[in-house]
Structure 1
Amino acid sequence: MTESSLTTHNKFTSGKQMNPTLVLLFIVVVAVVMTWILSSGEFQHQGQKVIPGTYQVIEKHYSLTQMLGLGAAPAAGQAAPVGIIDGVMAIPAGIVKQAGLIVMVLFIGGMFGVLNQSGAIEASLERLLGITKGNIYFLVPTLMLVFSAGSTFMGLAKEYLLVIPLVVALMNRLGLPNILGLAVVAVAVKVGYLASVTNPYALSIAQPLVGVQIFSGLSMRLAAYVLFMLTGVAFVLWAIRRHGPVGGTIDTSFSTQPLSLRHCLMMSTLLVGIAFMVFAANQWHWKNTQLSAYYLFLSMIFSAMSGMGASASADAFVGGMKKVLIAGLLIGLATAVEIVLSQGKVMDTLINALVQLVGQHGPYISAYGMFICQLLLDIVIPSTSGQAAVTMPILGPLGQLSGVAPQTTVFAFLMGNGLTNMITPTSSGLLIFLASAQVGWTQWAKFLLPLFLIFAALAIAMLTVAVAIGY
């Protein structure tokens, strides 16, 4: 790393950084405590869908043995707080539950270990920078527009795990730290989900549950996409200008030599592989297991093409996995929060308490209440489709009683869910992005906080407009 890039890196890492593992451990402990101080209760469910008006408090039994985690399992229709032993066991249980996702992340790390060791990525980035003359004001907006379009129109998210190391390496070559490479991808993808112009993962669940046609109400979401994207791009460029090279163009000579045949074939294979993966994931609904196998297959292809030999390729693959190994523990810890709250039967209690924020206080206050409700619920239900299935059946009728149109209810859900997912430490999607870029959560949260607050203000403003025009 050059002297200038070291200086830039220090600007982002100066000061005391809280370990993300400790942050999540603290949240797990808080979740355990909540099962002791909150009432337990349940909604009746129809599959994933919650039936409104069915919340009931459940009898809960307290004892010393229960505190230790040695008590008997509660009978049907009853609850018990989560003990110390059960709280600790929730962590490996979370890792097991997310095993497919963790393996996928490890295999992606291994695959890029092979590509990096072969020199294909470095040579390709050098060639790209030579063509564009390192013009950040061209590269960053173009990349962010492409990434956000994939997420807002098709719901792509995990598919971008393959490109994060590439963009991070590109920023590193320009003398910029990893966090700015991550921002180019993550801010674009999160904005795409926040607007969800035609995102099927959000709209195919949320809109039918409030009685509106899927993909209807396009105008407000499209306006949100344009507004939030312009703001997001401006923020990333501002961060680069403030913490990176002055003027937006790097005063460095880049290679204009064409790629070697080997590197050209490897990068062409990577591009074709990404395109086929996006097609297969949408056409055949590939899950984590199939994606993991696919990444492993690509790793074998790249190892054969690299000419490094079996032993060197295996070492590079293992070295790449080591760099993202911490992601497995973080994902397990994040999932442990959900397990603890569900085991203590306080998840529905939290949902019921938060929806009371909405109430029947007129359309404007109710719309803001929906936004805040979704914002907070995303911490314990970071899944977009899962949160839609849980909250839409409850908030839809409440919104109509308060004069909030169904489309505005969906819009409040998208704003709250999308905004919190940019920063919440319980989101496995964000955690694997951070692991791929080798950026700590507290470092990311500190970097993103100004944009988060700007986006929150814009979301409130757009909700105000939505209510005013009867959207």
Structure 2
Amino acid sequence: MNQPSPRHDSAADASQPAWYQRIPDPMVLIFMILVAAYLMTFVVPAGEFERETVDGQTTVVPGSFEYLPDVAALHVFDIFVAIPEGLIQASQFLFIVFIAGGLFHVLQRTGALENAIGVAVHRAGVEEKPENKNLIIVAGTFIYGFFGVAVGFENNIALVPIGVLIASAIGCSRLVGVTMAVGGIGVGFALSPINPYTVGVAQGIGELPTFSGWWLRTAMVLLCLATLALFICRYVTRVEFVDEQPAELDKRLSDYRLTGRNWLTLAIFVGGLVAMLIGVFTRDWYINEIAAIFLILAIIIGFINGLSANGLVRQLMEGASAVTPGALVIGLAASIQVILDDAQVIDTIVNSLSTLVSGMPIALAAVVSSVIQGVINLFVPGGSGQALVTMPILIPLADLIGMSRQLMITSFQVGDGLTNLIVPTSGGTLAMLALGKVSYAQWLRVITPVLLLIYAMCWLALVVGHYVGY
């Protein structure tokens, strides 16, 4: 009997989809996590801490945890009730995705942004020197990292499509642009030495000077951004990316020109971003106000580029429809926290995890604390909210085991911030992926390897920080 040829076998193997192509659709993946969270409520008992309001902030009273014996078990029907409730709770993220999608669709139709990027990349000499594209990727990663450090996380949602266009201009996939933008913003925000949402709140609870201990976090963020940039240049640019909506420039780089109307459009767009930043820093603006700025920009930019009212609405609707799948993923992810809140098990999880570090060597406890914060971030998304829940417990714990409060806060920042890039309950990350038109499964495939490396670097920094008296 003739044996099958090796060529035939290899061809059959080649026809098998790669592992990452077998990852379920993001909707399926997150629904599976939702069901797992529901099942967990039958294993984890309900419990809660006492809370008190101090200077307008609600904080947990350390040592006040008690189990709640009379909490009724959730019904399987509650899984499906949690989904519309999650959509309601995440509505601000959904709407900023819809409005930002409309804004960038209008911007794309004007050609101003594409012309500006085409001109800039052409002047950088990428056509004559292809190796210069790596310089653009490195510079872009650090620029996005700076925005993450100085501005925040969700506040930078509008900048993600620009990264996609930059990647297209240098001949890379939209995955490169999204990794540069979302990764840079995420790492910058996670390790920022001046993060008011995590470091500022946590140091206030820990009674430390605001943004003290900045030097270690500055070294961490610079080193980790450099690692991310190198990873993008060496790995992400080579990843085979199946893109149903490729981001392509319409012309050769040498053919791009900026018209007077383009300059006016860009000036209005940049002016709107500046107004947004002023509002964020001086008037405590957040998602709703930022979305309002985006809507105003879309209207002004549309009209100065000759769109009628009906035409503007049509463009906004087209842009919103393009990001609808990603927006709905955000709402589905929010239903996970709805289930855990309804079962009243979040405080039980926090209490159980916080006791794990007792009795450990201090350097190891710092590393384990960051892992615990990463787990908690799945259930309590939002840096400031997580600081208010966990720091009143972990600061006294740090005092008891001899760990410095500064080190405990930096451990919290590492665990909370970096996991924002992968947990499905991070509305800001899912919103950015929706605007970049990269699926959650594709994102996990590319970001996980470098995130593990960045975690290892940060854990080493925590150990070094302990031994140098940080």
TM-score normalised by L of structure 2? 0.88
Aligned to 1:6: none
Aligned to 1:57: 67
Aligned to 1:32: 38
Give me the whole-angstrom Cα distance separating, in 1, the residues matched to 2:458 and 2:446: 20
Distance 1:12 1:410 in 2: 40
What one-letter code is carried by the residue in structure 2 that aligns with 1:138? L
Aligned partners of 1:12 and 1:443 also within 8 Å = no
Q: Provide the C-alpha distance between the structure 2 equivalents of 1:163 and 1:373, rounded to a whole number of angstroms.
A: 31
Q: In the TM superposition, what is the alpha-carbon distance from 1:391 to its structure 2 partner?
A: 0.9
Matches within 5 A, 1:250-329: 254-255=253-254, 258-329=257-328
Partner of 2:100: 108
Stretch moving more, 14-23 or 193-202: 14-23
Alignment of 1:298-447 (within 5 A): 298-447=297-446
1:388 CA drift (Å)? 0.9
Distance 1:101 1:470, change over 3 A: same
- Structure 2 SS opposite 1:163: helix
Contact 2:148 2:156 in 1 (8 A): no
Q: Any idea what SS the aligned residue of 1:46 has? A: strand
User: Are the equivalent residues in 2 in contact too, given 1:143–1:184 (CA < 8 A)?
Assistant: yes
Alignment counterpart, residue 212 of structure 1, candidates 190, 208, 211: 208
Change (3 A) 1:188 1:115: same
Q: Which letter does structure 2 place at the counterpart of 1:357?
A: L
Deviations 1:274-311 (A, max 9, x none): 12211122211123322222211111111112224333
CA contact (8 A) 1:43 1:51 kept: yes
Q: Which of 123, 139, 159 is 1:142 aligned to?
A: 139
Aligned residue number for residue 62 of structure 1: none
Relative to structure 1, is the Cα distance of residues 453 and 281 closer, same or farther in structure 2, using a 3 angstrom cutoff?
same
Identity %: 27
CA RMSD, 1 decimal: 2.1
- 1:89 matched to 2:81? The reply is yes
3-state secondary structure, aligned to 2:42: helix
Gaps of 5+ in 2: 1-16, 127-131, 241-250
Q: In 2, distance between residues paired with 1:257 and 1:412?
A: 47
Q: Indicate if the aligned counterparts of 1:196 and 1:202 stay in contact, CA closer than 8 A.
A: no
Q: Secondary structure at the match of 2:356?
A: coil
> Equivalents in 2 of 1:289, 1:367: separation in Å?
36
Matching residue's letter, 1:221: R
2:175 match: 179
Q: Distance in 1 between matches of 2:90 and 2:101?
A: 17
Structure 2 CA distance for partners of 1:219 and 1:23, relative to 1, 3 Å: same
**1:226 equivalent in alignment to 2:226:** no
Report the Cα offset of residue 131 of structure 1. Answer: 1.4
Secondary structure, aligned partner of 1:353: helix
Q: Per-residue deviation at 1:13?
A: 11
Deviation at 1:463, TM superposition (A): 1.2
**Residue aligned with 1:182, SS:** helix
Distance 1:310 1:409, change over 3 A: same
Measure the CA separation in 1 of the matches of 2:382 and 2:109.
35
- Using the alignment, how far apart are the partners of 2:104 and 2:423 within structure 1? 26
| Partner Cα distance (2:179, 2:256) in 1 | 29
Contact 1:195 1:224 in 2 (8 A): yes
How far apart, in 2, do the equivalents of 1:241 and 1:43 lie?
Answer: 48
Q: 1:257 to 1:178 in 2, by over 3 A?
A: closer
Residues in 1 aligned to 2:333 and 2:458: alpha-carbon distance in whole angstroms: 26
Aligned partner of 1:454 in structure 2 is 453
Distance 1:390 1:188, change over 3 A: same
Asked if the contact 1:133/1:254 (under 8 Å) is kept, the reply is no
> Kindly tell me: are residues 89 and 243 of structure 1, through their superposed partners in 2, closer, same or farther at Cα, counting changes over 3 Å?
closer
Tell me, yes or no, if structure 1 residue 199 matches structure 2 residue 195.
Answer: yes
Structure 1 runs of 4+ aligned residues shifted over 6 Å read 11-14
Distance in 2 between the 1:89 and 1:173 partners? Answer: 45
Q: Secondary structure at the match of 2:165?
A: helix
CA drift of 1:26 comes to 1.1
The residue aligned with 1:71 is none
When structure 1 is superposed on structure 2, of 11-20 and 189-198 the one drifting more is 11-20
Is this contact kept in 1: 2:398–2:405, CA < 8 A?
yes
TM-score, normalized by length of structure 1?
A: 0.88
Aligned to 2:462: 463
Q: 1:80 & 1:298 partners in 2: Cα distance?
A: 49
Aligned mates of 2:280, 2:452 — CA distance in 1: 34
Q: 2: CA distance between counterparts of 1:211 and 1:294?
A: 36
Counterparts in 2 of 1:137 and 1:13: CA distance versus 1, 3 Å:
farther
Tell me how far apart the structure 1 counterparts of residues 279 and 399 of structure 2 sit (CA, whole Å). 40
Separation (CA, whole Å) in 2 of partners of 1:269 and 1:280:
16
Greater mean alpha carbon deviation, residues 22-31 or residues 305-314: 305-314
Separation (CA, whole Å) in 1 of partners of 2:375 and 2:330? 19
Q: Does structure 1 retain, via aligned residues, the 8 Å contact 2:20–2:442?
A: no
- Residues 237-276 of structure 1 deviation map (CA, whole Å, 9 limit, x = unaligned): 21255349xxxxxxx9522653111222112211121122
- Note closer, same or farther for the CA distance 1:335–1:253 as it changes in structure 2 (3 Å cut): closer
Query: Take 1:372 and 1:338, find their aligned partners in 2: how far apart are those partners?
Result: 19
